[in-house]
Structure formats: C-alpha cells, structure tokens
Structure 1
C-alpha cells in the first residue's frame, strides 16, 4: 500500500521557533494527504533533542528525526538533524553534506528549494519566527513552481525579522497568525492541480545542495559572476536572481542572501582587524625586547630606532582599536534601528 503523500508542507524557523512549531504542529489535522518537514536553526545536539522531544508531546502525528533515504509517509512530521541539509525528493528524504547556505546547515532555503523541485504545485512553504533571511529565496522557489506560500504575521512572531524579510521581497499567498494556518493547509491539499516542470536553474541549485563537491562548471550557468569574493573560501561569487530576489553562490557551494553576505563580510573584516591588532602588538613587543638588548650592549642609535618604531606601532594599534570600536558601535546602532 502506497503511503506517500501527494502534498508536502515544509516549514522553516529560527529564533523563537520551538514555541511556534508546537503551536502549528499541535493544531494540524491528522488525516490529510500530506506530510510535514521542518528545519529549525539549531546550535547543538542538546537543542535538537529538546526540539524533537518538545514536538512529540504537542501533536498527535508521529514525529521522526529525518534519515537519509527515509520514505515520506502521509500524516508524519520529519525534523532536520543538526549540521546536515535536509532535502526533499519525491517520496523520500535525503541528507546533504554540502556547504552551509545563509550561514546555516541545515538551511531553510535548501529544504524549500528541494520541495519546490520535487513537489512544485503540491508544495506548501511556511516561514515562522526567526532572524535574518534564510528561507526567502526558498519560498520564492516554491512560488515560482506553483506552490503555496505562507508567512507568520510579523506582529505575532517572537522574532519578526524572518517573516518581514520575506514580505519585503515578495508577495506571498497568505500572511496570518499560526492559529489560522491549518485551515489554509487543508484547503490547499484539496486542490486538483497538475505537476509542472520546475525551472532549470532551480533544478540545478537543488542538485548542488545534494553534493559535497560541486563542479566549477555548473555555477556560472546559474547567474552572473561578480567582483565579490566568498567570505568562507575566497572564491568568486555569482549573483543569482529569482525574479526580484537575489542571492550569491560560489562554485564550492557556499550561498548567501544579501543580508547574510553583509553580515559574513563584517565578521571576516572584524576578524582580520583583530588579527592585525594582535600581530602589530607582537611586533611592538619584539621591538621593545630588541631595544632593551641594544641599551644593554650600548648601541644607543639602534635602541632609539627600535623605540621609535615601537611607538609608531603603538599609535597604529590604537587607531585599529578605535576603528573596531566605531564599527562595532555602528553595527549595534543599525541592528537596533
């Protein structure tokens, strides 16, 4: 007997997601021709266990930790394990070990994009509370493939950034509180819609996410090469557009939305400046030792030269620290606007 569903609901969330998922999955009907797949950004194994155990006690549906090759059964809930991408194929799940997307693995975009390609008109994507913009590009992929797009009302979300980032960049089918989502899902899975052929660039991107190593010849066909470099590996970044939504991918597979790329660039810049501070301080300390040795040996000119160079490095260190302080303050002020 075939127990695979005709429809798939994929849900992505981040900060504040456990409470939101409990509410959503605790309210869904138990007899639809549909399965549910969830990615939540997780920081460690204990958090994964808390999510898994927390959801099992709030829904009548079976909850399973996704495994590679696991069949998708209707009226089941599947949770992404930590540190692997969760990929939906027609009728089964696949775990991917490719690079992080939007600084996360599992990535919401990877899940959504795979569901768009595998189930297209029969895919339903939901973005709940969270930070930054993982899920925006993936939800757009579901829309492009004829699926249904749903976003939690930002006024209800504990962390409204993720829902707001979706709404700022695309028009979704439904924006509403979690309490109204089950009715939308049940109506969506009653539709009599034919499957469609997904756009080729989405199919290729979904394929990339399944692989640990990507052929360098694939990515150039997806977008336009930019002058930007990948913050993680230093390779070139290609700009890929899904209608009006832009993201960036290198040939290794690292992928960033625009906001994630800005944040990653800031992290790299901050790290490089602190490294510069450390190396400069080490050089100043070495000059001070050489100055002391020169004084002990009576080399007055050499000692003066070492002292002068050390003083200049001291000024450089203060300049770098002041720059870091100003950058951090500006970043903090921007985040609080």
Structure 2
C-alpha cells in the first residue's frame, strides 16, 4: 500500500507551544493523507524525546523524533531533534547541523522553506504561539510556492509574537482559533485545487544552502544585496534578502537573521562591549589609585597628584558608562 503523503503539514511553535501542539494533534484524524512535522523552540537538549512522548499521549498517530534519511510516511508525526535542522525532502527527511537561523536550530524557517520547495502547493504551514518572529520567512516561502498558510489567532495565543508577525507581514489563508485548525486542515486537503505553481529559484537555492551546510559568498550575493552589517555570529558580511518587503540578512556561512533579531543581537553586542570597557577602566582606575598611594608614601606628591587626577577622570567616565548600560537595560524591559 502506498504510504507516501499527499500533503505535508509543518508546524512551528515556541513559548507556550507544548500545550498548543498537544491540542492540535488531537484534531488530526487517523487515516490522514498528510505527514506532520514539528519544530518547537524550548531547549537544545532532550526536548525531542519529551515532546514525542507528550504528543503520543494525545494521538493515535505514530510520533517519533526525526532521523536523517528516514522515509516520510503519511499519518506520522515527526519531531525535529535537538540542536539540528529538520529538512523536508520529497519522500525523505534530512537532519543537518547547519548554521542557526533567527538564532535557532532547529529553525522553523528552515523546515518551512524546505517543505515549500519539496511539496509546493501540497505544503501546509501552521504557526502557533511563540515569541519573536521565527516562522514568518518560512510562511512567506510556503505562500510563494502556492501552499496553504494557517496561523493561530494571536488574540488567543498564549504568546502572540510569532503568529502576529506572520499576519502583520503577509496575507494568510486562515487565521483561526486553535480549536478550529483541525477542521481547516481537513477542508484544505479535501478541496484544494492544485494549479502547478512553479517553485521560485531563490527558494530552491536557499533550501539547497540549508541542506548542504557549506556555501560560497557568491551564493548569498545572488540572493540579495550586500549590506553594511556583519554577522554577529561569525563576522561575515551580511546580504539583505527581501521577501515581499520582509527583510532578512544572510551570511555566506549560513546564519540568517530577521531585522528584529539583528537589532536584538546588536544591542547585546553593544552591552557586552560596554561591560568589557567598564571592567578595563575600573582596573586602570584602581591601578592609578594604588600608584598614587605608593607615591605619597615615598614623598612623590607631585606624581601622586597627577595619578589621582587621572583616576578621578576615569571615575567620571565609568559613571557615564554605567548610566548608559543601566538605561539600556531599563529601555529593553
């Protein structure tokens, strides 16, 4: 009997996602013509087995942690393993240890994009509760390939950032409460008309980059325009990619950031640099003060006065840096 799926359902969730995923799998009936793939952002260790166990308690569909080379079968639920990307190919799963996207591995965007390229109009993306914006670029890829985009209503999501980012940056096919997603899935797979929409070449290239892990600078410059920013993770030059106005930044080693993620990382980089500068300046001030005390004991008062003056000046600068650091921390709350 043919166990190849007619559709693939890719699901992304983050904060609050464990409960939401349990509620979702309850709604997917046995005998479904789809294979289901899940990325949940929680921990780099152990979440795969835990999530599989928790989901299996709520569904008769077989649930398992995805492995490299595993064949795709309809009616099965595949969970991304910790600290690895899950890539959906035609009939087979690839698990790779590539660069993080949006600071996550596994990344929702990587999985969604691969499903869009592999299954085109038969890919169905679902974004559930979560923070930040991983999943928006992946959902745009599904839309461009003619797939179906479903978002949990942000008004009921425990953490609305991820679904809200999707509906803010694109038109989705369905924005519904979690309890209605199962009905939507059944209706889509029963009534969807396949039109033969071609896969955009740039999405094929990005999916290839994620799968092969290693790439060349020319590959990223073909996908976008060189920006003035450098990658916070490896220091490489970032190219700006635009998906219907939604900007992302990719370096040639594979790291990818949305504008929001890049802003967050640059803020953290500034704060880290300021803390280092603060430590060095305090060490220098303490050393100058110590020298001044020793010079006073030796009767070298003129030299001691100069060292004390420089220590006091550094004290002023230290106070200003502390003010900047603490103000930045308050603004981010």
TM-score normalized by the length of structure 1: 0.95
Q: What is the alpha-carbon distance in structure 1 between the residues aligned to residue 319 and residue 100 of structure 2?
A: 36
Shift of 1:196: 4.1
Partner of 1:209: 210
* Alpha-carbon distance in 1 for matches of 2:196, 2:60: 30
Residues 269-293 of structure 1: per-residue CA shift (max 9 Å, x gap) = 1111111111111111222222233
Describe the superposition over 1:46-100 as per-residue Cα deviations: whole angstroms up to 9, x where unpaired.
Answer: 4443322211111110001011111111000000111111111111111121111
Question: After superposition, what is the alpha-carbon deviation per residue over 1:225-274, rounded to whole angstroms, capped at 9, x for unaligned?
Answer: 11122222222211101112211111121111111111111111111111
SS at the partner of 2:69? Answer: coil
CA contact (8 A) 2:47 2:82 kept: no
Q: Which segments of 5 or more consecutive residues in structure 2 lack a partner in the other structure? A: none
| 1:30 partnered with 2:30 | yes
Q: Contact 1:127–1:135 (CA<8 Å) still a contact in 2?
A: yes
Counterpart position of 2:230: 229
- Residue 268 of structure 2 corresponds to 267
Which SS does the other structure have where 1:303 is aligned? helix
Asked whether the equivalents of residues 46 and 82 of structure 2 are also in contact (C-alpha less than 8 Å), the reply is no
Runs of 4+ in structure 1 off by over 6 angstroms are: none
Q: CA deviation at 1:213?
A: 2.3
Contact 1:42 1:82 in 2 (8 A): no
- Greater Cα shift, 108-117 or 208-217: 208-217
Give the SS at the match of 1:217: helix
After the TM superposition, which of the residue ranges 245-254 and 70-79 deviates more from structure 2? 245-254
Q: How far does residue 2 in structure 1 lie from its aligned partner after superposition?
A: 3.5
| Structure 1 stretch displaced more, 23-32 or 225-234 | 225-234
* Superposition RMSD in Å: 1.4
**For residue 242 of structure 2, what is the aligned residue in structure 1?**
241
Change (3 A) 1:48 1:312: farther
* Gap regions ≥5 residues in structure 1: 333-337
Structure-1 separation of matches of 2:97 and 2:288: 47
Corresponding position of 2:125: 125
Distance, in Å, in 2 between the alignment partners of 1:58 and 1:129 is: 19
Task: From the superposition, tell whether residues 276 and 5 of structure 1 become closer, same or farther in structure 2 (CA, over 3 Å).
Answer: same
Deviations 1:299-329 (A, max 9, x none): 2222222211111111111101101111111
Cα distance in 1 for residues equivalent to 2:102 and 2:162: 12
